[in-house]
Amino acid sequence: MLPAAVGCGCGDDDDDDDAGGDDDTGDDDTAGDDDAVDDDADDDTAGDDDDVDDDTGDDDTADDDTADDDDDDTGPPPQCPDVEPLVFEPAMELVSSGTFLMGSPESEQYVYPDFGGPGDPAWEVQHQVTLTRDFYVAKHEVTQSLWLGLMGEFPPGQWDCDNDFPIGTVSWNRAVDFCNALSEQYGYDTCYTRDGEGVVTWDWECDGFRLPTEAEWEYAARGGTTTAYYGGDVTDWNCAEDNLTDIAWYCGTSEFDINKVGTKDANAYGLHDMLGSVWEWTWDGIDDETDVPYQFDEEPVLDPTGPGGTVAHMYRGGSMFASAADCRAAYRRVGVADRLDEDNGLRVVRTSFDE
């Protein structure tokens, strides 16, 4: 606490010696007040206009000091203060419609030792899919700078920071909000509508930004290849996969840390980081795990969009923490719509309506 100044007779409390409670009826610690110490009983709650916050027990409801202070009434420091908020239309690559084998051959399927689920053959039944519409795919995952510029704040729990790091800790619900915000920013149709109960529907005919379907994601990730990765087939299930070294930030290359987008080799469609880096949300939704195995009556399956559930959604591609097995193009995971994992991000797509 600062020492009390000698009275100068220039304040409007004529005989305030600040020995005890302030005898002012209101706090008048302006430039001409004779006390150098703010000693009013209620610390800076209303009319305090001094330029030094020197209360020892801060109980402000708002920070009304004009200079820097050592209190914490402004809340925690801002997340990632060095990230520059930028708004820009992502660079996109046009991916032509076509037919491919979705899922994995038996030689590529495995089951976790303690439970079924991701990697179980039922989750990756190989089947023929036809996509009838061309679509644009962002060359890179959404970056922290673009997210901040458009959304105004980071998701809770955002960690390591850089303009060109992919955004993480993104729920599926926030991912669709981002897509709509980006569409509005650049004059496209918004693709998603949320009803009063929070259920999201997708306008199939929209020309705006959206999440890919699972089928679109896998088709784009493969880049025309039929191997486990666009760099080749599986040689190691864990963190020593040579066919991922040049194309993916995964457990064998990332040192379990986040890295800048676009610093690994792209696939044949010009898309970077489709494997590793951060998991990428897709549209396809389910209501329980019995929906997860692929469901189809005949092949080829045309433009599949999933079972249509709303409780959870599929995400793809692996992450900086993932094993090589989990970075295969056919590998699938599912999470509830509000799931917040530090390595969950997104990549946007748009349907092409060009003649």
Band (pLDDT 50/70/90 cuts) for residue 117 is low
Q: Average of pLDDT values for 283-307?
A: 91
Band (pLDDT 50/70/90 cuts) for residue 11 is very low
pLDDT at 73 over 60: no
Predicted local confidence at residue 355, as pLDDT: 66
Report the distance separating Cα 194 and Cα 207, nearest Å. 18
Looking at every residue in the chain, the average pLDDT score rounds to 83
CB of 305 closer than 8 Å to CB of 284: yes
Pairing of strands 92-95, 200-202: unpaired
CA-closest candidate to residue 276, choices 241, 225, 227, 314: 241
pLDDT at 116 over 80: no
Band (pLDDT 50/70/90 cuts) for residue 68 is very low
CA-closest candidate to residue 348, choices 296, 294, 271: 271
Strands (E), the chain: 92-95, 98-102, 127-131, 135-138, 192-194, 200-202, 279-286, 301-302, 312-316, 332-336, 344-345, 349-351
| 298-354: pLDDT as tens digits | 899 999 999 999 999 999 999 999 999 999 999 999 999 999 999 999 999 999 998
> What is the pTM (predicted TM-score) of this model?
0.79
Predicted local confidence at residue 251, as pLDDT: 98
Predicted local confidence at residue 298, as pLDDT: 87
Alpha helices in the chain (DSSP H): 144-151, 172-185, 214-222
**Token pair for 335:** 């999470």
Q: Average of pLDDT values for 23-45?
A: 48
CB of 147 closer than 8 Å to CB of 88: no
Q: Average of pLDDT values for 56-65?
A: 46
pLDDT at 17 over 90: no
Q: Average of pLDDT values for 134-145?
A: 98
Predicted local confidence at residue 26, as pLDDT: 47
Band (pLDDT 50/70/90 cuts) for residue 5 is very low
pLDDT at 236 over 50: yes
Report the distance separating Cα 101 and Cα 124, nearest Å. 11
Report the distance separating Cα 65 and Cα 188, nearest Å. 44
Predicted local confidence at residue 77, as pLDDT: 60
CB of 214 closer than 8 Å to CB of 304: yes
**Token pair for 79:** 């997340």
Band (pLDDT 50/70/90 cuts) for residue 264 is very high
Residue where the block lists tokens 């060359």: 139
What three-state secondary structure class fits 131?
strand
